[in-house]
Chains A and B, each alone.
Chain A
Amino acid sequence: MEPPEPLVQFEAVSYLYPRATRPALRNISLDIRRGEFVGLIGATGAGKTTLCLTLNGIVPQFYGGRFFGRITVAGMDTLEHPTGMLARYVGMVFQDPETQLIANSVEDEVAFALENLQVPREEIRARITYVLQAVRLDGYERKHPSELSGGQKQRLAIAAALAMRPALLVLDEPTSQLDPVGEQEVFAVADELNRELGVTVLMASHAAERLAEYATRLILLSAGSLVAVGSPDEIYPQIELLERHHLRPPQVARTFYLINKAGHPTGRLPVRLEDGLRALDSLCAQCTLTPPSIPPEPQGADGPALVSARDLKYTYPDGTRALNGVSLDIRAGEYVVIIGQNGAGKTTLIKHFLRLLEPTEGKVLIGGRDTREFTVGELARRVGYVGQNPDHQIFNASVKDEVSFALRHLGYPAAEIRARTSASLEALGLLDMQDMHPLALTRGDRARVVLAAVLALQPEVIILDEPTTGQDYRGAKSILDITRELHRQGKTVIVVTHHLYLMPEYARRVLVMGKGTLLLDAPLRQAYHQLDVLGATFLEPPQAVLLSRYLERYSAGELRLLTPEEVAACFIPGGVERGSHQIPESVA
């Protein structure tokens, strides 16, 4: 059978943004065939967004710059056809769920593009019904976009794009700001549209496990260049290639890569969980399982509680009960991760530690004193907070001023301001950038500036609210590495995140929240294996945990493994070695 005809053709495409010295795209040649689900992968700055924007002509027609080569979509040259016409063929879904919804109700959002294309009213009505059913938002027609969850917002954006009946649906990191439920919703809908309606899908994403499951082909970009094209089964097993380009493979692929590397050839590396489970069956039939010795659970930190909540209840003014009797103690020197789906009460809880909210009932204690005894400013000297969006926390024209901002306003002596600012800049590796404008830095560096500014106040506790959201693997690791260093220096660290796979290397204790209650408070190794509790708050454990659970059918007892390294160590004679098979220090 002949392969389907190409829907999109790139012919030696290069592109430079106006005033840029380096091309955002370099000599890209590739085809996307009708009916494919193509995953676009690459680290931040690889050129994924630019490539997406070329498909409906926004690059270069809207942005300008220098464009070389030729792109055709459904036979139309993207330079010769206006974006309005290309929009009929290429539906776009962007990263930010907030900015891309422009109407005041769900049905108007879907209708907007159709109205612009002068589609008759009756036809618009029919298409609204159809696409809202397709993305499972029927019944929400009159809702305001702000009433939708993150996943629903992105599904609405897909519906709005789909209403134009595009041949190609382009999604630019549509799940990067969503919780796991939202991510699953978006991938499932894109998959349905692809399989059932034949819509060609191009999705840029860092969600390796999902792309392995749903994509039929992957395109790997790095620094604007095309590095590799192939099926997930061809790309994801190339662990070294991925790591060289700062990408994370699915955990199952990394696990079997390590097993292979240790001298147990398993054939083609599995990249999907179910393939991994099958591969474990055959592996266990061939060799003996030697579970690594897992050290006993770490004892909780000693000493008095630094942050405490006592039967904490909070109801928002609109009547929403966000916290329902939460009690906990966090001791000095702990590294705690708080997990739970959106709306579980994580941020509300944190806002109480900062006194941005006051308990409806119960109380919050910092260092044994009720937070009501402090002002927000006083508490800020003890509890530092780094929010999700660094740009909301930057007010100054230079990195140095930003870091010394609070010190100056709080009236510290000039010598102390200089000393603390320098120390903070040095700790975060920002000394070379101290005179630069913070907004001229990368997002990851901006996050470090905010962290430096918070550290300048020398707080005992540092809270990071979803620091890894919107970051690629390298960016997320770089921020978490800093938190590890702070923890080593004796700070108490509290991190809120959806990215469970990142945390075994860092956190020791997990607070699982759901529906405003504390569902579980346990050491990380124990918490990650409470699948029912995680499921209750719509969280999925990392693949390594699921592999570990599966392996238990071949072992005498519970394994409680957390990472690909630990799972692979089961097949390595002699157990865990230092180096690539190292058990994360924090959980060991």
Chain B
Amino acid sequence: MGVIRFQRVWRESLFTRLDFRAKLLIVAVISLVAFVWESPITLAALALTVIIAALLSGIEAAYLGRIFRLMMPLYGLLLVTHGFWNTQQVRVLTGRETLTPLFTFPSAWPLVGGGGMSVEGFVYGWAVILRTIVLILVLPLAIFTTDINQIMVGLVRIGIPYKLVFIFSSTLRFFPLLFGEAQAIIEAQRLRGLEPQRMGPLQRVRVYARIAIPLILGALVKAQQLEAVLQARAFTGSSARTYLHESRLRRVDWGVILLGLGLFVTAMALYVWLGVGKFAWLIFPSAPTPVPHR
């Protein structure tokens, strides 16, 4: 009860059947495109596609909701910072010397008086938010739809040393144990009469910092035990080993890889030659040719 496990979707779909390497390539393509595009329109389309794909693959809407709730403060911060202060970059991207004010603070107000939010900055803030949505959701789409063993074999097949892959897998295995221990320690502190909810922030930090002592010592003991276990299981860390699980690129995987590469090339070509995905695309049509980035 209460054990944290590696998240995994159980619905069978194209996503679960694909080889992890094909999925990694798609993740790389989507991430690169999201980095290059600045247009809120294309980024919105991309974010929507990723969200739909995540839902279709079986990732729960509640999970997506949790992510959005968690990210909400950051989104607010992005809108404010870009809307108010990102004037120079937005001028370059739109090619406009003067930005359209959305609203302005009365000049009598201290510190912020006379300052204001621009429409272009506000829109650019939205573009950045959409980009983060794409980047945050695309990796779980690949990882949650793949069995951990397939991830391991896939990573080894693309040339990552087995030792590193093993560290990744062990982290997934042992993190829940350490998390459980941290909870047990916090519980033990509460049972010694500590009531963090009644403490000031500083005192609370000091009390929680004490979790580190038993937790680190416990982790060290576990690490030593684990080392003995690994020795007893003939572990050397060498990549020269066999694998129970296969990682084979089938025709569908090759198809997805080619499709991903094709989409990437197309997106870049459209971006360079037709401006599709550039910030001003379709939104600020009257804007003159953008001045180059400094």
A binding-site residues for B, Cβ under 8 Å: 53, 56, 58, 61-62, 83-85, 87-88, 90-92, 94, 96, 98-105, 107-108, 111-121, 124-125, 128, 144-146, 160-161, 164, 316, 318, 320, 322, 354, 356, 375-377, 380-381, 384-385, 387, 389, 391-397, 405-406, 409-410, 439, 453-454, 457
Residues of chain B contacted by A387 (CB below 8 angstroms): 184, 188
* Contact A98 B149, beta carbon cutoff 8 Å: no
Q: Does B249 contact A (CB under 8 A)?
A: no
User: What is the CB-to-nearest-CB distance from B151 to chain A, in angstroms, rounded to a whole number?
Assistant: 10
Task: Select one of B149, B184, B190, B231 contacting A105, CB under 8 A.
Answer: B149
The distance in angstroms between the C-alpha atoms of A441 and B176, with both chains bound, is 28
A380-B193, A439-B217 given; A316·B243 CB < 8 A: no
The distance in angstroms between the C-alpha atoms of A100 and B172, with both chains bound, is 15
Q: Does B218 contact A (CB under 8 A)?
A: yes
Residues of chain B contacted by A405 (CB below 8 angstroms): 192
* Contact B234 A376, beta carbon cutoff 8 Å: no
* Contact A356 B229, beta carbon cutoff 8 Å: no
A100-B225, A454-B192 given; A107·B214 CB < 8 A: no
* Contact B227 A62, beta carbon cutoff 8 Å: yes
A116-B234, A316-B1 given; A392·B243 CB < 8 A: no
Residues of chain A contacted by B198 (CB below 8 angstroms): 375, 377
* Contact B187 A377, beta carbon cutoff 8 Å: no
* Contact A94 B217, beta carbon cutoff 8 Å: no
* Contact B192 A453, beta carbon cutoff 8 Å: yes
* Contact A356 B244, beta carbon cutoff 8 Å: no
Report the nearest B residue to A164, measured CB to CB: B234
The distance in angstroms between the C-alpha atoms of A377 and B189, with both chains bound, is 9
Task: Select one of A84, A96, A108, A124 contacting B236, CB under 8 A.
Answer: A84
- Among B164-219, those with CB < 8 Å from A are 169-170, 172-173, 176-177, 181, 184-185, 187-195, 197-198, 207, 210-211, 213-214, 217-218
Q: Does B251 contact A (CB under 8 A)?
A: no
Residues of chain B contacted by A454 (CB below 8 angstroms): 192
Residues of chain A contacted by B192 (CB below 8 angstroms): 380, 393, 405-406, 409, 453-454, 457
Q: Does B6 contact A (CB under 8 A)?
A: yes
* Contact A62 B214, beta carbon cutoff 8 Å: no
Residues of chain A contacted by B187 (CB below 8 angstroms): 356
* Contact B244 A104, beta carbon cutoff 8 Å: no
In order of increasing CB-CB distance, the 10 nearest A-B pairs are: A377-B195, A92-B232, A113-B233, A111-B244, A406-B192, A395-B210, A87-B234, A393-B188, A406-B193, A116-B234
* Contact A392 B1, beta carbon cutoff 8 Å: no
18 additional A-B residue pairs with CB within 8 Å, beyond A87-B234, A99-B222, A104-B172? A56-B231, A83-B231, A90-B232, A94-B225, A94-B228, A94-B229, A100-B226, A100-B229, A102-B173, A113-B235, A115-B243, A116-B234, A117-B234, A375-B198, A376-B190, A391-B214, A392-B188, A392-B214
Q: Does B60 contact A (CB under 8 A)?
A: no
User: Which of A85, A318, A395 has the most chain B CB within a 10 Å cutoff?
Assistant: A395
Report the nearest A residue to B223, measured CB to CB: A99
Report the nearest A residue to B230, measured CB to CB: A102
User: What is the CB-to-nearest-CB distance from B233 to chain A, in angstroms, rounded to a whole number?
Assistant: 4
Residues of chain B contacted by A118 (CB below 8 angstroms): 240-242
Residues of chain A contacted by B225 (CB below 8 angstroms): 94, 96, 99-100
* Contact B218 A102, beta carbon cutoff 8 Å: no
Number of A-B contacts (CB under 8 A): 168
* Contact A377 B176, beta carbon cutoff 8 Å: no
The distance in angstroms between the C-alpha atoms of A410 and B240, with both chains bound, is 58
The distance in angstroms between the C-alpha atoms of A161 and B229, with both chains bound, is 10
The distance in angstroms between the C-alpha atoms of A116 and B193, with both chains bound, is 49
* Contact B210 A381, beta carbon cutoff 8 Å: no
Q: Does B3 contact A (CB under 8 A)?
A: yes
Residues of chain A contacted by B1 (CB below 8 angstroms): 316, 318, 320, 322
- Cβ contacts B70-85/A at 8 Å (1 or 0 each): 0000000000000000
The distance in angstroms between the C-alpha atoms of A82 and B244, with both chains bound, is 24
A108-B149, A116-B235 given; A395·B3 CB < 8 A: no
* Contact B194 A409, beta carbon cutoff 8 Å: yes
Task: Select one of A58, A62, A114 contacting B242, CB under 8 A.
Answer: A114
Task: Select one of B189, B222, B234 contacting A395, CB under 8 A.
Answer: B189
* Contact B195 A392, beta carbon cutoff 8 Å: no
* Contact B214 A56, beta carbon cutoff 8 Å: no
The distance in angstroms between the C-alpha atoms of A380 and B188, with both chains bound, is 10
Q: Does B24 contact A (CB under 8 A)?
A: no
User: What is the CB-to-nearest-CB distance from A196 to chain B, in angstroms, rounded to a whole number?
Assistant: 24
* Contact B169 A104, beta carbon cutoff 8 Å: yes
* Contact A115 B228, beta carbon cutoff 8 Å: no
Report the nearest B residue to A93, measured CB to CB: B232
* Contact A380 B234, beta carbon cutoff 8 Å: no
Q: Does B5 contact A (CB under 8 A)?
A: yes
The distance in angstroms between the C-alpha atoms of A58 and B188, with both chains bound, is 35
Residues of chain A contacted by B189 (CB below 8 angstroms): 395
* Contact B3 A146, beta carbon cutoff 8 Å: yes
* Contact A102 B226, beta carbon cutoff 8 Å: yes
Q: Does B148 contact A (CB under 8 A)?
A: yes
User: What is the CB-to-nearest-CB distance from A181 to chain B, in angstroms, rounded to a whole number?
Assistant: 19
* Contact A99 B229, beta carbon cutoff 8 Å: yes
User: What is the CB-to-nearest-CB distance from A333 to chain B, in angstroms, rounded to a whole number?
Assistant: 22
* Contact A160 B233, beta carbon cutoff 8 Å: yes
* Contact B227 A395, beta carbon cutoff 8 Å: no
The distance in angstroms between the C-alpha atoms of A476 and B76, with both chains bound, is 58
The distance in angstroms between the C-alpha atoms of A101 and B193, with both chains bound, is 35
Task: Select one of B194, B230, B246 contacting A406, CB under 8 A.
Answer: B194
* Contact A104 B194, beta carbon cutoff 8 Å: no
User: Which of B149, B185, B190, B222 has the most chain A CB within a 10 Å cutoff?
Assistant: B190
* Contact A354 B191, beta carbon cutoff 8 Å: yes
Report the nearest B residue to A377, measured CB to CB: B195
Residues of chain A contacted by B169 (CB below 8 angstroms): 103-104
User: What is the CB-to-nearest-CB distance from B209 to chain A, in angstroms, rounded to a whole number?
Assistant: 9
A–B Cβ pairs within 8 angstroms, 12 of them: A62-B228, A83-B231, A99-B225, A104-B148, A115-B243, A121-B242, A160-B233, A316-B2, A375-B198, A376-B190, A391-B218, A392-B218
A104-B173, A377-B195, A392-B184 given; A88·B229 CB < 8 A: no
The distance in angstroms between the C-alpha atoms of A128 and B173, with both chains bound, is 21
* Contact B243 A121, beta carbon cutoff 8 Å: yes
Report the nearest B residue to A142, measured CB to CB: B147
User: What is the CB-to-nearest-CB distance from A515 to chain B, in angstroms, rounded to a whole number?
Assistant: 15
The distance in angstroms between the C-alpha atoms of A58 and B227, with both chains bound, is 10
User: What is the CB-to-nearest-CB distance from B234 to chain A, in angstroms, rounded to a whole number?
Assistant: 4
A104-B173, A318-B1 given; A392·B235 CB < 8 A: no
The distance in angstroms between the C-alpha atoms of A105 and B54, with both chains bound, is 25
The distance in angstroms between the C-alpha atoms of A102 and B228, with both chains bound, is 12
Residues of chain B contacted by A103 (CB below 8 angstroms): 169, 173
Residues of chain A contacted by B177 (CB below 8 angstroms): 98-99
* Contact A395 B214, beta carbon cutoff 8 Å: yes
Task: Select one of B181, B191, B222, B229 contacting A385, CB under 8 A.
Answer: B191
Task: Select one of A56, A107, A120, A393 contacting B232, CB under 8 A.
Answer: A56
Task: Select one of A121, A322, A375, A391 contacting B195, CB under 8 A.
Answer: A375
The distance in angstroms between the C-alpha atoms of A108 and B235, with both chains bound, is 14
* Contact B234 A84, beta carbon cutoff 8 Å: yes
User: What is the CB-to-nearest-CB distance from A377 to chain B, in angstroms, rounded to a whole number?
Assistant: 4
Report the nearest A residue to B1, measured CB to CB: A316
- Cβ contacts B231-270/A at 8 Å (1 or 0 each): 1111110001111101000000000000000000000000
User: What is the CB-to-nearest-CB distance from B249 to chain A, in angstroms, rounded to a whole number?
Assistant: 17
* Contact B214 A394, beta carbon cutoff 8 Å: yes
